């Protein structure tokens, strides 16, 4: 099954150098924010989507987090710090787990068509169809699980289709 993982280009370069997308650790995650008194991401998983567009949204969030850190440090933001990287991944469906964190968030989203009941609907199929988010409990290896990547320029905080994203680099083999 083809899935995608979005992140900033700075983090993607570390992934390419290390040879794997590592499971989330608090100190490495751009999404460790307290949302409704719970963490948005949980340690021990790589977060994925089957929608390339959705991966760009998550990647844009990582870019914005990185830029915020640079500004707080008083550093300039380089052009490549404005890029989102989307990794294309091939995994068997039985390796995937529901994204419990996203289910919790969506269960309270009363105005969204992506609302999901965490207790009765949080399974792989609903996570892919309704919330476009699943997770895998292991590192993903470049060249085995991770097939290729693409770079985009981030133009707005979260790109949801308002404008066509500028492609910096088309799909490249890992």
> Domain of 148?
2-173
| 37 vs 151 pLDDT, higher one | 151
Tens-digit pLDDT profile for residues 123-160: 898 888 888 899 999 999 999 999 999 998 876 444 44
**For residue 161, what are the contacts with CB-CB under 8 A and spacing of at least 6?**
53
| 134 vs 76 pLDDT, higher one | 134
Q: According to the model, what pLDDT value does residue 164 have?
A: 55
Taking the C-alpha atoms of residue 21 and residue 54, their distance in angstroms, rounded to an integer, is 18
Tens-digit pLDDT profile for residues 107-128: 766 555 555 665 567 889 888 8
DSSP for residue 24: P
Domain of 116: which CATH number?
3.20.170.30
Overall number of domains in the chain: 1
Count of residues making up the chain = 174
Query: For residue 138, which of 49, 40, 46, 55 has the smallest C-alpha distance?
Result: 46
Q: Which sign, positive or negative, has the C-alpha torsion 7, 62, 137, 131? A: negative
Q: Please provide residue 51's backbone torsions phi and psi, each rounded to the nearest 5 degrees.
A: -120, 110
What value does the mean pLDDT take over residues 161-168? 62
Give the CA distances from residue 39 to residues 31, 148, 169, in Å, rounded to whole numbers and listed in that order: 8, 30, 33
**For residue 114, what are the contacts with CB-CB under 8 A and spacing of at least 6?**
106, 130, 131, 132
């Amino acid at each position: 099954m083809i899935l995608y993982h979005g992140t900033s280009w700075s983090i993607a370069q570390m992934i390419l150098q290390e040879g794997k997308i590592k499971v989330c650790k608090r100190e490495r995650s751009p999404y460790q924010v307290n949302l409704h008194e719970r963490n948005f991401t949980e340690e021990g998983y790589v977060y994925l989507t089957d929608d390339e567009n959705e991966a760009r949204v998550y990647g844009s969030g990582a870019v914005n987090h990185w830029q915020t850190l640079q500004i707080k440090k008083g550093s300039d933001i380089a052009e490549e710090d404005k890029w989102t990287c989307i990794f294309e991944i091939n995994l068997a469906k039985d390796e995937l787990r529901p994204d419990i964190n996203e289910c919790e968030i969506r269960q309270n989203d009363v105005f969204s068509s992506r609302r999901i009941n965490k207790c009765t609907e949080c399974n792989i199929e609903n996570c892919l169809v309704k919330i476009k988010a699943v997770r895998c409990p292991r590192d993903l290896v470049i060249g085995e699980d991770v097939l290729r990547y693409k770079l985009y320029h981030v133009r707005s905080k979260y790109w949801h289709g308002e404008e066509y994203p500028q492609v910096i680099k088309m799909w490249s083999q890992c």
